[in-house]
Amino acid sequence: REWLIDGPALAAFLVLYFRGFWLCGRTLLPVIFGIVAIGLVTAPHNPGASCFFIFAAGFVGEVGRPAVAVRWLGAIVAIVAVQTYLLSLSPPFWVPATVISILVGGSNIHFCEMRRKDRALIKAHEAAEHLATIAERERIARDLHDLLGHTLSIIVLKSELAAKVAD
């Protein structure tokens, strides 16, 4: 009977898990909720179901800003606590489901924020390079304009001088 629950649950988990890598932001929430639901269904008879909560916590970092992600991580841990209380689940279930979920979720929140900051820094660096290129082009154009204007002025002045000397 457990295989009738665990088999389809594992298949659904794999679909959700690999789908989660293609999503980000709020579109990732249904994947997280689906994985948490699989953990809720399988936890009463399988202490190893705590891994589903850990995997769900692993995706939380991509949901949004760190404060939002921490709230979602807290919701996952609260769900584990409520289920543990209601079903009187054993420590081999709730200890990894809470402790490792907090560790994995927290580290992923940190690394996702670092990736966001790195992308912003790269974008700012590219913008600075672009502005430096434009400034260099403008400097060259200004120098050419000044040089050409000076040369033409000298030519006009010398031609007028030559015309007066020739008269």
* 24, 65 Cβ separation under 8 angstroms: no
- pLDDT digits 0-9 by tens, 79-115: 999 999 999 988 888 999 999 999 999 999 999 999 9
88: left (phi over 0), alpha (psi -120 to 50) or beta: left
- pLDDT digits 0-9 by tens, 36-89: 999 999 998 888 899 999 999 999 999 989 999 999 999 999 999 999 999 998
Q: Where are the beta strands (DSSP E) in the chain?
A: none
- Residue 16 to residues 23, 48, 94, 96, 151, Cα–Cα distance (Å): 11, 18, 22, 21, 72
65: helix, coil or strand? coil
Is the Cα torsion angle 36, 109, 112, 66 positive or negative in sign? positive
Type of residue numbered 30? P
Mean pLDDT, rounded, of the chain: 92
Inform me whether the pLDDT recorded for 116 exceeds 80: yes
Name the pTM for this structure: 0.75
